[in-house]
């Protein structure tokens, strides 16, 4: 039997060479010729680059598993490769270092806090299986860790970031109180920057203390001191709702010699009171009865749903504009309600049938909606983040124009609430805001502003209103109407070279006053939204949360979900329908071409814009510079 050929011959060709005895081989990969000695051929094949490339595709498991052989052989000789590479275990294992594990813990914790997810979900078997599938070998944090160490670490880190962001800013503080899920009296304080960014800074459990003006003054002073020391900010204005105790507290706070603030009431609260003043109880009573009937009775609710009617809204006492929403839902869906009553006349309650088909009630509902709708729009504008007191003056002035056709009692109620909401700081801020320059103020409002103005500042304020030549005239052009007020004042300060401005001895105090007035927010809406967050965090299902931990969770919920500050526009200010109603006092500035132009401010990209009738307004307050 002939001796079988070595398997290495699979990579070589047997050749004959003249004048040479023995076997000669030619490499199939590089064409090199050599004696057909298997040992030499194996060494050559191992170092032949082409052979290696070929083996990676045609001989993945080396000679030991190859079955390639010459046709003339009848047996197989297997020779293991000397350079067989062993697979490393590292290629099959996903390792998680301590540093990476901590980073993953932090990311998961931030997700739980930002989404208000109960901590018990971290111990759920399916959550653990999901994490294991995503990262084998990594152990996610437990509910105990999320509620303890990770909460404290994330809170401290977020507060540190806010300290850096807020350092040196002039802010407005809001104070309000309510009862939590445990019926414990809680007082919260928040600050709002000129850009409209609201931050919860202090939560106090006031159990055992009466909310008197004296006690609230003490709480407010402590909150101001703590906030200024902790966040390195300057609290220059104070806004609250309009109950008697906090109104007295604001007056006492303003009299403190060691605190330099302006104080005023919340415009949104006053607008809500105005809506209550002009509400016609007899009409709303009928509307509420109809809405309640078609929402709570099974058969009428099913008929209404089958008719594809829009959702009927019930009023909520603690929610602004809910009466307007109820009346509007009735007016918009009355046609469907009438049809249902006709189709199911025998099954519908007689009183409900009468109300739905009463033309007089329908007309009264339309009239009520006509007076509530402008107030609701003004309230929505007032409670937007970053709406300052200078913009609040314009909101009230435009509301007056919208209510011109209303009865005398509505106009009287409006003037009463406006005079309670607006004061000298509001009018002076409106004058100093270059977008308005006090052009829509009445003589009485101007006098109110100038009465409180320091005599040394009078001439400079007049120069701004009349666009005096001591200031660069291009700053009063339309291209600067979208510039935030504080940025505008900074530009004016840097670009005014007139000696009367540069050498004015009161310039620093004047700019300080501008900063104080133009960063004062119009309402406590930011704090009201914080209360809503408390209701989500400290709920009936999570009723074991204490006040301190709930405060941290609310803080993180608000801050981790904070979107970038969006610019608002002021389209409503230049609505042509209002031009006929603009009051121009005799001594008003004649040049009004710089009133905000709708074409220069249109910005429909904001997700908060709901319709043409509800345009975002407080905008241009973003990224305001600090002096």
User: pLDDT by residue (tens digit) across 175-219?
Assistant: 998 888 888 899 999 999 988 899 999 999 998 888 899 999 999
Domain carrying residue 140: 98-147
Looking at the domain assignment, is residue 90 inside a domain? Answer: no
pLDDT score recorded for residue 473: 87
pLDDT score recorded for residue 563: 64
DSSP three-state, residue 62: coil
DSSP three-state, residue 588: coil
Do 294 and 416 fall into the same domain?
no
Do 304 and 351 fall into the same domain?
yes
Chain CA centroid to CA 581, Å: 35
Do 507 and 534 fall into the same domain?
no
Do 510 and 603 fall into the same domain?
yes
Q: Does 566 have pLDDT greater than 60?
A: no
Q: Which of 244, 290, 239 is nearest to 265 (CA)?
A: 239
Q: What angle do CA 564, 567, 572 make, to 5 degrees?
A: 150
Looking at the domain assignment, is residue 83 inside a domain? Answer: no
Could you tell me which residue, 589 or 431, shows the higher pLDDT? 431
Terminal CA-to-CA distance of the chain, rounded, Å?
A: 104
Q: Does 432 have pLDDT greater than 60?
A: yes
> Domain tally for the chain?
5
Do 253 and 334 fall into the same domain?
no
pLDDT score recorded for residue 93: 64
Q: Does 45 have pLDDT greater than 90?
A: no
Do 501 and 553 fall into the same domain?
no
Q: Which of 374, 404, 419 is the last residue of a domain?
A: 374
By mean pLDDT, which of 15-24, 158-167, 552-561 is the weakest? 15-24
pLDDT score recorded for residue 543: 77
Do 519 and 535 fall into the same domain?
no
Do 614 and 494 fall into the same domain?
yes
Do 142 and 171 fall into the same domain?
no
Could you tell me which residue, 445 or 605, shows the higher pLDDT? 445
Do 475 and 607 fall into the same domain?
yes
Name the percent of the chain lying above pLDDT 90.
52
Could you tell me which residue, 166 or 618, shows the higher pLDDT? 166
Q: Which uninterrupted H or E stretch holds 187? A: strand 185-192
pLDDT score recorded for residue 116: 93
State the pLDDT confidence band at 92, using cuts at 50, 70 and 90.
low
State the pLDDT confidence band at 35, using cuts at 50, 70 and 90.
confident
Q: Which of 374, 401, 435 is the last residue of a domain?
A: 374
Do 370 and 279 fall into the same domain?
yes
pLDDT score recorded for residue 161: 92
Tell me how far apart the alpha carbons of residues 388 and 385 are, in angstroms, rounded to a whole number. 9
Q: What angle do CA 417, 423, 426 make, to 5 degrees?
A: 110
Could you tell me which residue, 590 or 145, shows the higher pLDDT? 145
Tell me how far apart the alpha carbons of residues 517 and 489 are, in angstroms, rounded to a whole number. 12
pLDDT score recorded for residue 573: 41
Q: Which of 315, 345, 374 is the last residue of a domain?
A: 374
Looking at the domain assignment, is residue 88 inside a domain? Answer: no
Looking at the domain assignment, is residue 33 inside a domain? Answer: yes
Q: In the predicted model, what is the mean pLDDT of residues 62-91?
A: 46
Do 517 and 533 fall into the same domain?
no
Tell me how far apart the alpha carbons of residues 293 and 340 are, in angstroms, rounded to a whole number. 13
Which pTM value belongs to this model? 0.74
Q: In the predicted model, what is the mean pLDDT of residues 436-446?
A: 92
Looking at the domain assignment, is residue 627 inside a domain? Answer: no
Given a contact cutoff of 8 angstroms between Cβ atoms, the answer to whether 490 and 463 are in contact is no
Looking at the domain assignment, is residue 512 inside a domain? Answer: yes
Tell me how far apart the alpha carbons of residues 52 and 59 are, in angstroms, rounded to a whole number. 9
Given a contact cutoff of 8 angstroms between Cβ atoms, the answer to whether 166 and 180 are in contact is no
State the pLDDT confidence band at 53, using cuts at 50, 70 and 90.
low
Looking at the domain assignment, is residue 362 inside a domain? Answer: yes
Average pLDDT, whole number, for the chain?
A: 82
DSSP three-state, residue 377: helix
Looking at the domain assignment, is residue 189 inside a domain? Answer: yes
Name the percent of the chain lying above pLDDT 70.
82
């Amino acid at each position: 039997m002939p001796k079988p050929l070595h398997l290495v011959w699979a990579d070589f060709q047997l050749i004959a060479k003249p004048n040479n005895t023995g076997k000669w081989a030619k490499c199939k990969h590089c064409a090199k010729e050599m004696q057909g000695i298997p040992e030499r051929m194996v060494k050559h094949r191992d170092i032949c680059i082409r052979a290696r490339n070929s083996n990676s595709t045609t001989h993945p498991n080396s000679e030991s598993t190859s079955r390639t052989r010459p046709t003339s052989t009848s047996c197989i000789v297997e020779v293991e490769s000397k350079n067989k590479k062993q697979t490393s275990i590292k290629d099959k294992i996903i390792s998680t270092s301590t540093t990476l594990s901590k980073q993953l813990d932090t990311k998961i914790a931030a997700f739980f806090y930002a989404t208000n997810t109960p901590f018990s979900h971290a111990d759920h078997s399916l959550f653990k299986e999901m994490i294991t599938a995503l990262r084998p070998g990594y152990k996610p944090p437990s509910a105990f860790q999320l509620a303890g160490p990770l909460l404290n670490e994330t809170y401290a880190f977020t507060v540190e970031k806010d300290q850096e962001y807020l350092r040196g800013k002039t802010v407005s503080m809001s104070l309000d109180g309510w009862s939590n899920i445990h019926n414990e009296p809680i007082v919260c304080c928040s600050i709002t920057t000129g850009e409209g960014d609201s931050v919860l800074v202090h939560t106090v459990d006031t159990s055992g203390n009466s909310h008197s003006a004296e006690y609230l003054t003490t709480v407010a002073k402590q909150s101001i001191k703590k906030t200024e020391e902790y966040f390195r900010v300057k609290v220059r204005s104070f806004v609250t709702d309009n109950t008697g105790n906090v109104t007295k507290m604001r007056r006492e706070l303003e009299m403190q010699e060691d605190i330099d603030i302006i104080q005023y009431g919340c415009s949104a609260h006053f607008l809500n009171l105005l809506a209550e003043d002009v509400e016609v109880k007899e009409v709303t009573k009928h509307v509420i009865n109809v809405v309640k009937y078609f929402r709570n009775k099974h058969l009428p609710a099913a008929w209404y749903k089958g008719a594809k009617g829009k959702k009927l809204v019930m009023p909520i006492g603690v929610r602004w504009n809910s009466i307007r929403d109820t009346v509007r839902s009735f007016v918009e869906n009355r046609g469907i309600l009438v049809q249902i009553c006709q189709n199911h006349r025998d099954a519908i309650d007689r009183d409900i049938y009468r109300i739905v088909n009463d033309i007089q009630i329908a007309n009264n509902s339309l009239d009520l909606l006509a007076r509530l709708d402008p107030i609701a729009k003004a309230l929505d504008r007032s409670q937007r983040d970053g709406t300052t007191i200078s913009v609040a003056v314009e909101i009230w002035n435009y509301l007056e124009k919208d209510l011109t056709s209303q009865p005398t009692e509505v106009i009287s109620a409006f003037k009463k609430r406006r005079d309670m909401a607006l004061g000298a700081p509001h009018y002076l801020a409106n004058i100093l805001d270059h977008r308005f320059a006090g052009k829509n103020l009445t003589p009485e409002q101007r006098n109110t502003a100038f009465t409180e103005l320091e005599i040394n500042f009078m001439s400079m304020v007049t120069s701004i209103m009349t666009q005096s030549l001591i200031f660069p005239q291009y700053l009063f052009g339309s291209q600067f109407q979208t510039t935030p007020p504080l940025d505008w004042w900074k530009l004016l300060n840097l670009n005014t070279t007139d000696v009367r401005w540069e050498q004015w001895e009161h310039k620093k105090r004047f700019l300080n006053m501008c900063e104080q007035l133009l960063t004062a927010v119009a309402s406590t809406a930011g704090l009201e939204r914080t209360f809503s967050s408390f209701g989500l965090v400290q709920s009936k299902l999570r009723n074991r949360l204490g006040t301190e931990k709930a405060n941290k969770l609310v803080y993180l919920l608000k801050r981790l979900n904070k979107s970038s500050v969006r610019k608002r526009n002021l389209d409503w200010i230049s609505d042509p329908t209002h031009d006929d109603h603009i009051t121009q006092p005799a001594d008003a500035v004649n040049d009004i071409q710089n009133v905000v132009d709708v074409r220069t401010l249109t910005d429909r990209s904001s997700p908060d814009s709901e319709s043409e009738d509800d345009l975002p307004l407080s905008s241009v307050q973003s990224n305001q510079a600090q002096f």
